[in-house]
């Protein structure tokens, strides 16, 4: 069992039966410190998305596709932010259904500047809505890296709408929403290892298969055009991830501090283990390896950040670095998919490793926050179940969405446009002077 705040519904029931004085004392109240931290965390996650993720992916692309990648990430962020306010938030966090919430907050109705969140009870409702919108937006944007350099812009946007609606929202509610299916099983996902990274990683893998391989793969050099920009993007991801993880504590508190230090340590350990594996296997440690290792560590610690101790986070990061290195090399060759920027190898594999090992390192024996009655076997099974459900759900939804879009719009740009580059053919612009 994990020590965490009482569920909001239980807290309300407790207050209802309490004497007036007690109820008055225990009633949720606005905390300006918590509010300031969640506002800051929201800004940090936006920073890790645009420009962080955009530059990370942009640097990995060829120069002729740089702007197309930047545009896709940028526009997806805008699109999902709007959809989140219209119907996304209420379906993810409204009501108490097993799979989805209700429509009580459609168009954000029923929320005012003075109302508090039922999840983060010391923070304004609007702030929680904004904070969670960043998770939804970056989850969808992550998928771009799998089919980069060859998918129609209209198809990208259409897929974003379908996958957000039918995969992200149900998984978010099942894991985090009141009454959610996986919540009832006791799944632990502190900041989105399952909801964001496994979910997006599977969608990316399916997309790589459905869209097909890039022209010239295995015959032509498809090397990144700017590892400098990739390093800048990775650095912004690391900085922004503190909002992702520490912000999920719900306030400026001790759990936020734990998540903060864990994010530092897991990421650092993953960088070192990735480079060690690279040096042993290839004889050289690369900058791209360091950046990829950092992202792998960030992904892996995301579900665990507030549940494991610092040494557990370090061990988790070290393991994730090595496993994700295999994910983008050995496993990628086995799968045979052209996952251009290794969305599945880093986010999918890293998310799976982090989700399962959270059930291990949350145990008090490893410095985790679990109580003395913590049952590791039961918790690991709950984590595995959440992984299996997410893999199956995202896989089915993604495949159906890609196939539908291929029939209606067409997934892939014509061969000549792909050879010329999507910057010019799709957007009529060039990232660099010609």
* pLDDT tier, 26 (very low <50, low <70, confident <90, very high otherwise): low
Topology given in CATH for the domain delimited by 31-212+221-427: Ammonium transporter fold (1.10.3430)
Grade residue 4 by pLDDT with cuts at 50, 70 and 90.
Answer: very low
Angle subtended at Cα 208 by Cα 206 and Cα 211, rounded to the nearest 5 degrees: 105
- Does residue 290 carry a pLDDT above 70? yes
To the nearest 10°, report the CA torsion of 25, 26, 29, 33.
Answer: 100
Query: How many residues belong to the chain?
Result: 434
Helix, strand or coil, per DSSP, at residue 412: strand
Report the Cα–Cα distance between both ends of the chain, in Å, rounded: 60
Of 117-121, 152-156, 200-204, 371-375, the least confident: 371-375
Average pLDDT for 231-242: 98
Stated pTM of the model: 0.93
At 144, is the pLDDT very low, low, confident or very high (cuts 50, 70, 90)?
Answer: very high
| Confidence band of 275 (pLDDT split at 50, 70, 90) | very high
Residue 13 has pLDDT above 80, yes or no: no
User: Which DSSP state fits 112?
Assistant: -
Strand pairing partners for 217?
220
Domain ranges of the chain: 31-212+221-427
Task: Tell me what the mean pLDDT of segment 58-62 comes to.
Answer: 97
Residue-wise pLDDT tens digits, 357-392: 999 999 999 999 988 889 999 999 999 999 999 999
Quick one: pLDDT band at residue 434, thresholds 50, 70, 90?
Answer: low
Cross-strand bridge partners of residue 2: 370
Question: In sequence order, what are the residues at sequence separation of 6 or more whose Cβ sits closer than 8 angstroms to the Cβ of residue 360?
Answer: 366, 376, 380
| Token pair of 411 as six digits | 């997934």
Residue with tokens 């409204």: 94
């Amino acid at each position: 069992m994990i020590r965490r705040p009482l569920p909001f519904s239980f807290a309300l029931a407790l207050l209802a039966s309490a004497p007036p004085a007690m109820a008055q004392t225990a009633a949720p109240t606005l905390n300006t410190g918590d509010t300031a931290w969640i506002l800051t965390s929201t800004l940090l996650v936006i920073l890790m998305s645009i420009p962080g993720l955009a530059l990370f992916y942009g640097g990995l692309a060829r120069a002729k596709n740089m702007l197309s990648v930047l545009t896709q990430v940028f526009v997806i962020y805008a699109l999902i932010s709007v959809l989140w306010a219209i119907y996304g938030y209420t379906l993810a966090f409204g009501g108490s259904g097993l799979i989805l919430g209700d429509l009580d907050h459609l168009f954000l109705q029923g929320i005012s500047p003075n109302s508090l969140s039922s999840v983060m009870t010391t923070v304004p409702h609007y702030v929680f809505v904004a904070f969670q919108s960043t998770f939804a937006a970056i989850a969808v944007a992550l998928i771009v890296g799998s089919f980069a350099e060859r998918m129609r812009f209209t198809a990208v946007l259409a897929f974003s709408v379908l996958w957000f609606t039918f995969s992200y929202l149900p998984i978010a509610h099942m894991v985090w929403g009141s009454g959610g299916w996986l919540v009832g099983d006791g799944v632990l996902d502190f900041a989105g290892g399952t909801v964001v990274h496994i979910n997006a990683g599977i969608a990316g893998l399916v997309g790589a298969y459905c869209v097909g391989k890039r022209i010239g793969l295995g015959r032509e050099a498809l090397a990144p055009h700017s590892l400098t920009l990739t390093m800048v993007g990775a650095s912004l991801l690391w900085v922004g991830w503190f909002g992702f993880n520490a912000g999920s504590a719900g306030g400026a508190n001790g759990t936020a501090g734990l998540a903060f230090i864990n994010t530092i340590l897991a990421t650092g350990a993953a960088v070192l283990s990735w480079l060690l594996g690279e040096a042993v296997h290839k004889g050289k440690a690369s900058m791209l390896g360091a950046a990829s290792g950092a992202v792998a560590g960030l992904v892996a610690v995301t579900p665990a950040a507030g549940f494991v101790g610092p040494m557990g986070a370090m061990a988790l990061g070290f393991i994730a670095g090595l496993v994700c290195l295999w994910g983008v090399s050995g496993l990628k060759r086995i799968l045979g998919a052209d996952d251009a920027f290794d969305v599945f190898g880093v986010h999918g594999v890293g998310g799976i490793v982090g989700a399962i090992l959270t059930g291990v390192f949350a145990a008090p024996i490893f410095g985790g926050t679990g109580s003395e009655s913590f049952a590791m076997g039961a918790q690991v099974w709950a984590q595995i179940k959440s992984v299996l459900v997410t893999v199956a759900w995202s896989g089915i939804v993604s495949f159906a969405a890609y196939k539908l879009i291929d029939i209606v719009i067409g997934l892939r740009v014509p061969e000549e446009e792909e050879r010329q580059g999507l910057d010019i053919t799709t957007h009529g612009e060039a990232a660099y002077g010609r």
